[in-house]
Structure 1
Amino acid sequence: MSGFNLRFLGHSTVRLELGDRVVLTDPVLTARVGGLTRVVPPPPPGAYGGVDLVLLSHLHGDHLHVPSLKLVGRRTRIVVPRGAGSWLTRKGFTAVEEIAPGETLTDGGLTITATEAVHSGHRWGPRLTHGPQSPAVGHLIDGAGLRVYNAGDTDLFDAMVGFGPVDVALLPVWGWGPNLGPGHLNPARAAEAAGLLRARAVVPVHWGTLAVPGIRRTARMRRLLADPPREFAAHVAAARVATDVLFTEPGADVVLPASTDRA
């Protein structure tokens, strides 16, 4: 595939077609993820078929989801933060590679560079010390003259300015619960990130997909499942950040602006 296409599959899962490769970020593809329920339909198998490369940002269960990785395929090339490879290999995946911030790898016409991320890297959360742990990362994806930044989960940090300019940034704008813990971007801080990155366009991710079953129907949770990308767009406009907000509902193709749509 010589074009550039994006499809937001929900939460932090994006299908990216660029530089003759198909990349999937943090695949979460099932109706349930641990104790969370998917509030939009799971993507059909065609949405995650033909994947060449999976990029995993960190070990949390809503980003490294073993049942979803099995759907993509145990032999698919999977890139994990350095230190997590042996744990995932023991789950039966045969093409696992590790990468640390500042390191690069290639896949076809793509170059992938891991970046810093400000987020807990422990599988079970920031307050535990036992079990698998590795630093959370983001990714810079370069190919066909374009640069895409996949933030994973992170808070704002000054070094983002060194990643830009980027053609498209995949930026988290919320999460799955009524509150955000440390190491996350909210809509206002995501707008600041877009400015630091000098992003020509931003796809808001990490919203509108997963919820705790018991509270998903409360008025507050209904708002939090819908409003964060709209609030992000409002903050971008108020701060006069020169970026296109590519608002996309979970499961839909991203409509790219003419300046980046080279398909």
Structure 2
Amino acid sequence: MARVRYGARTGAEIAAARTAGSRLPDIWSTGVVAVWESDPDAVAAVLPPPLKPTGRALVRVNISKVDLPGYPLGAGSFAVAAAHDGIEGWYPLVMPMTHERALIGGREVFGEPKKLGEVTVEREGLVVRAALARHGIEFVEVRGAVSGPLPLPEPARKTDFYFKFLPAVDGSGDGSGFDAGPVLVHCVRNEKVRKLERISGDVVLRESMYDPVADLPVRELVGITIGEKTTDQKGTVAERVDARALLPYIHQRYDDPQQILDGPPQGSV
């Protein structure tokens, strides 16, 4: 009988896949990063406990093209500064990806808020334009011109915070709305940069009911850069979190808040 591909894999095949995944070569991306100060109350409002605001109400958007061999990827992240247990990092609200493969792995393993979307990174001479779009709405655009090189930073360790959870099958679970207790994940990335340039430009946030990033306005632009970098990453469960405290925030993960409920939308047959 021919191999049934949905059948069980052998122990040797599973071990080989894990070994290959642990020896990935450096994968370089070209990305535009913009950081700005926003409304402190707005930044605090989007942070589920136990995350807390930092000393500055910073917002960061990262828009990149990743050089995966034979499988180029557009990847984006829109995040706010956050702190947990003495560690400062970033809490992403939405992470558009151009391929399902990158989306599924991040959501299922780390709890990343990834969604399918369109990612644009364009450069013509000194002119740069980068954007994130979903549902036909370009909700973030970064545009400007390269104004000069920047010194290469030393390799850096950076942390992103994610919440990993599954809504309850019956809509209620143990009363918390989840099948099991949600967890807070620390995802630590070691980042190396081989090229970095400053951009003089601006950030445009457009209204979208699906990605309401316009609620985090640009009060003061800290800076915009374009660069080439590579990172590795490792996630750990930092703690189990209060399910009832997290429940009011899980709509952040979905385009339609009704998706988290066990029932059809009103008016459906």
TM-score range, shorter chain: under 0.3
- Structure with higher Rg: it is 2
**Greater fraction strand:** 2
TM, length-normalised to structure 1 = 0.24
TM, length-normalised to structure 2 = 0.24
